[in-house]
Structure 1
Amino acid sequence: MTHIFVNIPTNDLERAKAFYTALGCELNPLFTDENAACVVWSENIFFMVLTKEYFSTFTDKEFADPKTHAQVLLSISRDSREDVDRIVEAGVAHGGTAPGEPQDYGFMYGRDLIDPDGNGIQFMYMDPEAAAKGPDAYMAEQARA
C-alpha cells in the first residue's frame, strides 16, 4: 500500500495544528511532538507539519517562502461541491485565506485555500461519472442531453 506524506514547514506549530484540525483532520499522536505534527487527511494521505528548524534537518536547500513562491500545488478531493465550500470556509474562519474565485468547469469544481504560513491547497470535487469516462466524453454527453 502506498501512503503520501507531504512535509510542510510552519512558523507556529500550535497555530498549524489548530488550523488543520479545524478543517476536520486528526493528528496522529505517535508522530506529533514539539517539532512536528502528523495531520491525517485519510488512511493514505498525511501532512507532516514541521517547525522550520526541524524541517531544515531534512534538507540543505534554502526555504522558499510559500507566501511568495510556489513550489508544489496540492489538490485534495472532496465528496461534493458543498464539502469543498465547507472546508475552505472553515480554513478562512481559522486564519487561512481563499484567493481567487472558485473554478467551476461543470464536471469539476475547485477552490484554493492558503494556510496561515502561506502553504496552498486546492480542494476539488469531480463528478464521479466524469472521472470514470474522462472529461471530454462526459462533457460531450452533457451537450447531447
Structure 2
Amino acid sequence: MSESIKPLGVDSERWKPLLDTPAYKVLFGEATERPGSSELNHETRPGTFICAACYLPLFDAGMKYDSGSGWPSFFESLPGRIGTREDFKLTMPRTEYHCIRCGGHQGHVFPDGPPPTGLRYCNNGLALVFIPEGERMPDLRQPDQ
C-alpha cells in the first residue's frame, strides 16, 4: 500500500534559493539538460533517486536501466510519487512527468521501455539526487513560506 503524498502548492519562485540555476531551470522552467551530461547515467550502486528540489524519493536504483538515450532512465517509479500531463511542446504529444510533492519537472515517459512495465521514464539528471544504500535519506524539504 502506498502512502498519499500531499502536493505542497508552493510557488516555483520559492525554490530558487534552494537550487543551483541549471537545476532550477530544469525543475521549474521545464528545460532539458544535454544528453550524456549527467553523472547519474553511470550510477549503478543500490540506493534511491530523490527529487532534487523537495527530496521526495522517486525511484529505487533497481528500477534504473541503460536505455542508451543519454539520460538516466527507469522502467518504473515508486508508487504515488509521479504526476503526469500531456506536453505538446514538440508538436507531437508526449507525457511529461513531475514530482507529485513539489511539481518539479523530471522528464518524459515513453512506451518503449523494458519489461515488466514497457515504460521508459527518461529523467533529467539535474532533477535528481542519488542517495546510496546505507546513507541517511535527507529530510523532506520545502521552501520558507
Q: TM-score range by the shorter chain?
A: under 0.3
* TM-score, normalization by structure 1: 0.28
Which structure shows the bigger proportion of residues in helix conformation? Answer: 1
Larger gyration radius, structure 1 or structure 2: 1
* TM-score, normalization by structure 2: 0.28
